[in-house]
Structure 1
């Protein structure tokens, strides 16, 4: 355990050093190659069925008053991201069923409506095809195949609009923990960031208490957002999950999902603005 704690502390120090360096940079100092836009537009564009959008509650897909809760979450996230110089944001939950993948998809579309942001969304919940099913997409490979070098990211990724990219799973991975904790996983992320220069990378990661899949990955994240299910996730589970997260990365916050609230509680004056 001593060695594990030392390794975690070392990773924290390295991450903090990178964060401080990023904060020092102004927007004018960030050099983005001129051909980045062409690299993004070269990716195939995603096509979403309107029935899928309604059935899977992609409320922020087109914006409007129904997207207000996700837009509020987006704004709070961006404030912390810009203040701390973060880029990699993991979304996780104590266990499955908390709406983590649905929240990831909605946050992605909400962020995508900010024209000045480049956002990449990667599904690292390799035991499932959550985001692909929510978006109604089909294919052959998974992000594990990208990590293992079986398929390049540019042949696997799909694009929505001009500033949002998805890396999805179309098949299950039977050794996800080993894949996610490998050095090649980190090298793959670094290569993607070097080529596409995203402002934010969102990760749909496995539930914390279901396996060790996420634990080896989180130390390479800048921060994490914890999703809990209203009326089902116990305070003990939330507390335990938060403490586990804090040992591995910065905790951005906790989102209580699937809440019941009165009609108009969010955005009731939306049309007045």
Structure 2
């Protein structure tokens, strides 16, 4: 009855031209505000403890990492970044894997451009992890030579804040410094799951990107996909067949959501990138 009376009063006010009062969200209490500020400051401190690393402009150009600055070359990566972020917010996703059907499709280039692009959005905290443990290349792309690698973190030998680097105040990259012969065993351990959960809880990133091996030639990709919310699949128009794209999409969908397929190296596009969602 009270709801009906409130609805009638609202309709009457609108009909008579009276302003309609809208329900407002209750303000946070002083204690809640203080706690929120303290939590934000704590997260800022742990991010600030990660050392900064600044790649040279020459290295970024050589690695085709164009999204570090606003440019014509980086436009398509900016579009991809924005669309991916909107999709993640809509689905409440945090962890995104980036894989491909076969090697040489451009998945690492895509991953590095995405994290570089997020660096230009200071309201978004982003992380990139090089989980292509057999053929790691993120460090090479950025021109870094880390003394310790992601494997050392996963094995508990080095704290994450000492191994990772910040490209920007709001982006962190964890690189792999040496190939691992049998990564499947490491990725299947409960310790790896717990380590990623701990990093997410401590640093509270908005986006966690994982550069994974090609899905059709690597067993560890299947082992890791269950730890992410969704995956982007990168295909090269000159070397990836439609059948391979279909196959890797089926494989990925068995373990996680498919966020989209990126068609790379398109000769009919000026920049060589296309996207499908």
Q: Is the structural similarity TM-score above 0.5?
A: yes
Matched with 2:99 is: 92
Map Cα deviations across residues 118-151 of structure 1 (whole Å, 9 max, x no partner): 0011111111221001111002222111111011
The answer as to whether partners of 1:46 and 1:159 remain within 8 angstroms in 2 is yes
Cα distance in 1, alignment partners of residues 146 and 82 from structure 2 = 33
Cα distance in 1, alignment partners of residues 186 and 269 from structure 2 = 44
Cα distance in 1, alignment partners of residues 162 and 207 from structure 2 = 21
Aligned residue pair count? 239
- 1:37 corresponds, among 20, 36, 44, to 44
The answer as to whether partners of 1:119 and 1:201 remain within 8 angstroms in 2 is yes
1:246–1:262: structure 2 CA closer, same or farther, 3 Å change rule?
A: closer
Cα distance in 2, alignment partners of residues 83 and 262 from structure 1 = 29
Matched, 1:203 2:210: yes
Map Cα deviations across residues 27-83 of structure 1 (whole Å, 9 max, x no partner): x99964422112112211112122211111111111222210001111110111010
Cα distance in 2, alignment partners of residues 45 and 149 from structure 1 = 22
By relative contact order (CA 8 Å, sep 6+), the higher-ranking structure is: 1
The answer as to whether partners of 1:36 and 1:197 remain within 8 angstroms in 2 is yes
Matched with 1:126 is: 133
Matched with 1:12 is: none
| Aligned pairs for 1:32-111 within 5 A | 32-111=39-118
SS at match of 1:65: coil
Matched with 2:5 is: none
Matched with 2:120 is: 113
The answer as to whether partners of 1:142 and 1:172 remain within 8 angstroms in 2 is no
Measured after TM superposition, the shift of residue 175 of structure 1 is 1.8
1:107–1:199: structure 2 CA closer, same or farther, 3 Å change rule?
A: same
CA RMSD of aligned residues (A): 1.9
Measured after TM superposition, the shift of residue 265 of structure 1 is 9.6
SS at match of 2:74: helix
| Aligned pairs for 1:1-16 within 5 A | none
Unaligned runs of 5+ in 2: 1-27
1:264–1:92: structure 2 CA closer, same or farther, 3 Å change rule?
A: closer
TM-score (norm 1): 0.83
The answer as to whether partners of 2:73 and 2:271 remain within 8 angstroms in 1 is no
Unaligned runs of 5+ in 1: 1-27, 267-273
SS at match of 1:224: strand
The answer as to whether partners of 1:141 and 1:171 remain within 8 angstroms in 2 is no
Bigger Rg over Cα: 2
- 2:148 corresponds, among 130, 141, 144, to 141
The answer as to whether partners of 1:128 and 1:169 remain within 8 angstroms in 2 is no
User: Please, which moves more after superposition, 245-254 or 205-214?
Assistant: 205-214
Matched with 1:24 is: none
1:58–1:264: structure 2 CA closer, same or farther, 3 Å change rule?
A: closer
Measured after TM superposition, the shift of residue 261 of structure 1 is 3.5
